[in-house]
Amino acid sequence: MKRFISKRERNLKYMKKNAFWNTISGILDAGQSAIILIFISRFLPINEAGVFSISYALANIVFMIARYGVRNYQVTDNKAEEKFRNYLFLRFVTIFISVLFIGTYLFFMYMRHQYDMHKVIIVFVMACYKMVDAFEDVFLGLYQQKGRLDIAGKVFAARVFSSTIVLCGAIVITKDLVISVVAAFLSGVLMEIILLRKTYPSFHISSEKLCKEEFFFLFKQCFPLCIGAVLAVYVSNLPKYMIDWYLNEKIQAIFGYLMMPAFCITLLSRFIFQPYIKQIGDQWNNKEFSQLKKFTLILTGIISVITLTVIVGGLLIGLPILSWLYHTDLMGYSMELFYLFLGTGLYTISCFFVVILTAMRKQNLIAAGYIAASITAFFISPYLAAKYGMRGACGLYIIINLFLSLLFFIPLWKNLCGTEAKKEGMNL
């Protein structure tokens, strides 16, 4: 009995630590771009804010290619079907593919005279910075899988905090964005080496050699998740890409300023459902379908309430605060701000549904949904940009995320109800 109580207390202690450090790392991750933009708006021209904003968005696409949709799969892999060495080797392969992708894209944009060399360098260095994130992520997935999300949170928080301080400090001192992003990248690499050397030896990992069959199985299984994850980030940043292709850097900067409070919705929601990813996988694997249905409805309701709260607060006090923070008059953009809040809420709900579908191993469905959304956006974005400018970009954000939320929820709910009915039929 004492052993049981002791184990339970230990589990509760870890849950509290996991939740705390997940919150800290989530705040730093979501707030990093916004904080950097504040410094850029104060010490550099507004066009530089636009360049940084699109470089951060493109770097996130590259990060998702390198991440390959593995994190949620790795954490919910309760049967340990794949060994860590396979996950690690896969990460090296996907990082190489990511660097190749962004290099090709930048060459294409430079040859079309859409990017100058200054912009090419900033985008490439930011992409390399995100490769540090991608390499670290496979270790953080291991820590979370072992029940130590707190360690994962500490490692991520320490590195992001230090590199953000370096980047902002370099902006103040040098007044040069290229030097600043290079300094942030180098500090990130250094912190990565220090933190992983300190934490990784604590986990006793199997010393088995790389298994080709398991590696290719993992590559095949996670490919649809990669497509889904990449397209999810593409969809979440669609307005930025639309502005990059059809409008200008000043509008890109203003859009980046307006997006900052909208991400509070994603941030707050992530605090709620991120620690429960393993629980979702357990409920599905243990055939606890009624509990998972209830959990899905509760979390969707909480995200909706958070969205409404942020919309009300943002429309009342958001624009004056943003105008002061970014040293730019944003008072005429209340409708755009509302569109972004609503679109971000829908985006967050769709991301939550993706977590559940991943636990169900419905990777192909996720990929198909994002492909459909991306094709839709490809055809309607030129019209919206030409006719409505930035407001059209914000409207596109709502349309695509509403489409995705419905597209994911319907099969998710149908699957839960169907498997629950089948289980009850077998018990009769």
| 237 backbone dihedrals φ, ψ, rounded to 5° | -110, 15
pLDDT of residue 206: 59
Place of tokens 């290619």: 65
Indicate whether 211 pLDDT > 80.
no
Helix (H) or strand (E) holding 209: none
The predicted model gives 387-403 an average pLDDT of 90
Q: Cα 133–24–279 angle (5° rounding)?
A: 85
Sorted by sequence, the CB contacts under 8 Å of residue 2 that are 6+ apart come out as none
Q: Do the beta carbons of residue 222 and residue 66 sit within 8 Å? A: no
pLDDT, tens digit, 9 for 90 and up, residues 240-249: 888 898 888 8
Percent of the chain with pLDDT over 90: 32
Q: Do the beta carbons of residue 66 and residue 90 sit within 8 Å? A: no
pLDDT of residue 43: 94
Which range, of 46-50, 91-95, 144-148, averages the lowest pLDDT?
144-148
Rg of the chain in Å (alpha carbons): 22
Domain ranges of the chain: 1-202+209-236, 238-428
DSSP3 helix / strand / coil % (the chain, rounded to 5) = 90, 0, 10
Is 68 or 423 the better-scoring residue by pLDDT? 68
Q: Please, which pLDDT band fits residue 201 given cuts at 50, 70 and 90?
A: low
Q: DSSP state, 329?
A: -
Q: DSSP state, 287?
A: T
Cβ neighbourhood burial of 50 (10 Å; 0-12, 13-18, 19+): buried
Which range, of 92-96, 213-217, 407-411, averages the lowest pLDDT?
213-217
Q: Do the beta carbons of residue 342 and residue 315 sit within 8 Å? A: no
List the one residue out of 245, 233, 317, 265 whose CA is nearest residue 57.
233
The predicted model gives 111-132 an average pLDDT of 95
pLDDT, tens digit, 9 for 90 and up, residues 51-77: 999 999 999 999 999 999 888 778 877
Place of tokens 């859409």: 114
Percent of the chain with pLDDT over 70: 88
pLDDT, tens digit, 9 for 90 and up, residues 247-287: 888 899 999 888 887 766 766 666 666 667 777 877 788 77
> Does pTM top 0.75 for this prediction?
yes
Is 124 or 282 the better-scoring residue by pLDDT? 124
Which range, of 348-357, 383-392, 414-423, averages the lowest pLDDT?
414-423
pLDDT of residue 213: 79
